[in-house]
Amino acid sequence: MEAEFILSAARPDQFPDTGLPEIAFLGRSNVGKSSLLNALVGKKGLAFTSATPGRTQMINFYRVGGEYCFVDVPGYGYAKAPKEIAHAWRRLVEHYLDARPATLFFLLLDARRGWMEADLELKKWLEFHKRRYLVIATKTDKLKSQKERHHGMAALEAQETEAPPLPFSAVTSRGVREIWQAISKNKNNRKRAAKESLPSQAPLN
Q: Is the pLDDT of residue 94 over 80?
A: yes
pLDDT tier at 82 (50, 70, 90 boundaries)? low
Residue 79 is predicted with a pLDDT of 45
pTM to 2 decimals? 0.86
Sequence-ordered list of residues with C-beta below 8 angstroms from that of 73, at least 6 positions apart, any chain = 24, 25, 26, 33, 59, 93, 96
User: Using 50, 70 and 90 to split pLDDT, how confident is the model at 101?
Assistant: confident
Domain definitions of the chain by residue range? 3-186
Which phi and psi angles does 15 have, rounded to 5°?
-60, 130
**Mean pLDDT over residues 43-59, rounded?**
65
The two beta strands, 102-110 and 133-138, are: parallel
pLDDT bucket at 98, cuts 50 / 70 / 90: confident
Least confident of 30-39, 70-79, 160-169: 70-79
Q: What pLDDT is attached to residue 86?
A: 66
Q: What is the mean predicted confidence (pLDDT) over 149-155?
A: 91
Assigned CATH for 3-186 = 3.40.50.300
Edge-to-edge, what's the strand order for the sheet holding 3-9? 3-9, 59-64, 68-72, 22-27, 102-110, 133-138, 166-167
The 3-class secondary structure across the chain, one letter per residue, is CCEEEEEEECCHHHCCCCCCCEEEEEEECCCCHHHHHHHHHCCCCCCCCCCCCCCCCCEEEEEECCCEEEEECCCECCCCCCHHHHHHHHHHHHHHHHHCCEEEEEEEEECCCCCCHHHHHHHHHHHHCCCCEEEEEECHHHCCCHHHHHHHHHHHHCCCCCCCCEECCCCCCCCHHHHHHHHHHHHHHHHHHHHHHCCCCCCCC
Residue 164 CA to residue 158 CA, distance in Å, equals 10
